[in-house]
């Protein structure tokens, strides 16, 4: 079924992410942000976000590692 309704597409993508995480045995409902209240309720697609890392050199790899370490420090990795 084709639709260009943003909410329908967003919900469909979110459901696909949850299904994949369930198939992999990954808990998509872990607390993030160090137990601090999140501004977006879990179960809402806006709770997730994506990360794209690019580059092929040592500087890029170092930067990407630092970015991932910062996300981990704030316990945001489960939201990716």
- Residue 1 included in any domain: no
Residue 34 lies in a domain: yes
Residue 36, domain member (yes or no):
yes
pTM of the model: 0.58
- How many domains does the chain contain in total? 1
Decide if 42 is inside a domain.
yes
pLDDT tens string 16-70: 888 888 898 876 554 444 444 455 556 677 777 889 999 889 999 999 999 999 9
Residue 27 located in a structural domain: yes
Q: Which two tokens stand for residue 22?
A: 């369930």
Question: Which pLDDT belongs to residue 29?
Answer: 56
* Residue 23 included in any domain: yes
Kindly indicate the confidence band of residue 1, based on its pLDDT and cuts at 50, 70 and 90: low
Q: Where in the sequence is the domain holding 31, given as residue range(s)?
A: 6-79
CA distance 41 to 23: 23
């Amino acid at each position: 079924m084709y639709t260009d309704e943003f909410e329908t597409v967003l919900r469909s993508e979110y459901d696909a992410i949850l299904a994949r995480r369930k198939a992999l045995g990954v808990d998509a409902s872990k607390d993030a942000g160090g137990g601090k209240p999140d501004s977006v309720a879990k179960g809402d697609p806006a709770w997730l976000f994506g990360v794209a890392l690019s580059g092929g050199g040592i500087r890029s790899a170092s930067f990407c590692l630092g970015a991932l370490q910062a996300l981990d420090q704030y316990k945001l990795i489960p939201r990716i």
